[in-house]
């Protein structure tokens, strides 16, 4: 029996083509590109686990097998590290945090957009169940992590909730944008539009962390392609909004858009400085 107020599953869509990082992403998934020494996707997985998630469901593709390998054990490597005085690396390749966490992988056969990616796991999410979505290419440095911040708000309000941040009007073209009046760090969402090319409803941009009701799957099923001829998660959220209140949370964290080269380089500089105290 699912408990609507407890969120234990997170979906991580990682099936995108990563076009903006070609040629690096010809043979390596974008999500496996490292921030200093840690693949981008590992940051999202650790953030989800910190927030109490127990089941990580990847939406993947045939070119992304290395992600499956990354979250599995590599016993040969572990044995070699143990027998060659390199034990200190052992906890890097088999994190304690993964103990008891279930990883599953579902394939998206055609890259038809984020909404289509999420709909691939509709059989794993019950309609009355809330679940998290984390887009690994949005990387946050927050304490606690942004997913934990969303969970705290969810525990109070029990409604679908999306992480948002303020961007310049020029930047709204690149994101889903909501409208609503912030009260403290929270707003009821009045409207949501994917990548508005003119007249954005506000400067509150959607970022890659969501806690959604499983009802979204029903909306995704009947959705026509939207912006960029892709099945847009934002459009399904807009339909859910007609049926009930959803919230936006202005999170407290630094964000790096690692889907772009600029954000990826900035994240590397930021975490390198933090990790190695380079001045």
Nearer to ligand UTP, 113 or 180 (CB): 113
User: What is the sign, positive or negative, of the torsion defined by CA atoms of 49, 44, 140, 35?
Assistant: positive
Closest approach of ligand UTP to the CB of residue 96, in Å: 26
Nearer to ligand UTP, 59 or 153 (CB): 59
Closest approach of ligand UTP to the CB of residue 232, in Å: 10
Strands 161-166 and 254-257: unpaired
Alpha-carbon distances of 258 from 22, 138, 212, 232, rounded to whole Å: 14, 6, 23, 20
Instruction: List interacting residues with ligand UTP (CB under 6 A).
Output: 13-20, 30, 59, 108, 111-114, 116-117, 135-137, 259
Closest approach of ligand UTP to the CB of residue 114, in Å: 4
Beta bridge partners of 256: 139
Nearer to ligand UTP, 81 or 237 (CB): 237
Closest approach of ligand UTP to the CB of residue 4, in Å: 26
Q: What dihedral do alpha carbons 254, 157, 245, 202 form, nearest 10°? A: -30
Closest approach of ligand UTP to the CB of residue 175, in Å: 10
Please tell me the number of Cα atoms within 13 Å of 66 on its side-chain side: 13
Backbone phi, then psi, for 204, in 5-degree steps?
-95, 105
Nearer to ligand UTP, 60 or 202 (CB): 60
Residue nearest to ligand UTP (CB): 16
Nearer to ligand UTP, 53 or 117 (CB): 117
- The whole-angstrom separation of Cα 2 and Cα 4 is 6
């Amino acid at each position: 029996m699912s408990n609507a107020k407890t969120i234990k599953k997170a979906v991580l869509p990682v099936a995108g083509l990563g076009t903006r990082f070609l040629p690096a992403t010809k043979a390596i998934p974008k999500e496996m590109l490292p921030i200093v020494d840690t693949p981008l996707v590992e940051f999202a997985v650790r953030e989800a686990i910190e927030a109490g998630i127990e089941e990580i469901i990847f939406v993947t593709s045939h070119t992304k097998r290395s992600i499956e390998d990354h979250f599995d054990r590599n016993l040969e490597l572990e044995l070699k590290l143990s027998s060659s005085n390199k034990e200190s690396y052992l906890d890097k390749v088999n994190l304690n945090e993964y103990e008891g966490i279930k990883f599953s992988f579902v394939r998206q056969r055609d890259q038809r957009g984020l909404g289509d990616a999420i709909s691939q796991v509709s059989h794993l999410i019950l309609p009355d169940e809330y679940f998290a979505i984390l887009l690994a290419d949005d990387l946050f440095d927050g304490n606690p992590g942004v997913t934990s911040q969303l969970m705290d708000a969810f525990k109070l309000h029990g409604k679908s909730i999306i992480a948002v941040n303020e961007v310049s009007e020029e930047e709204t073209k690149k994101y889903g944008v909501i409208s609503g009046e912030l009260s403290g760090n929270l707003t009821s969402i009045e409207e949501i539009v994917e990548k508005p090319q003119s007249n954005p409803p506000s400067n509150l941009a959607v970022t890659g962390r969501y806690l959604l009701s499983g009802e979204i799957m029903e909306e995704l099923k009947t959705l026509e392609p939207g912006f960029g001829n892709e099945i847009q998660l934002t459009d399904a959220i807009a339909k859910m909004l007609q049926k009930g209140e959803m919230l936006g949370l202005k999170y407290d964290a630094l964000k790096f858009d690692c889907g772009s080269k600029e954000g990826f380089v900035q994240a590397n500089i930021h975490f390198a400085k933090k990790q190695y105290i380079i001045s």
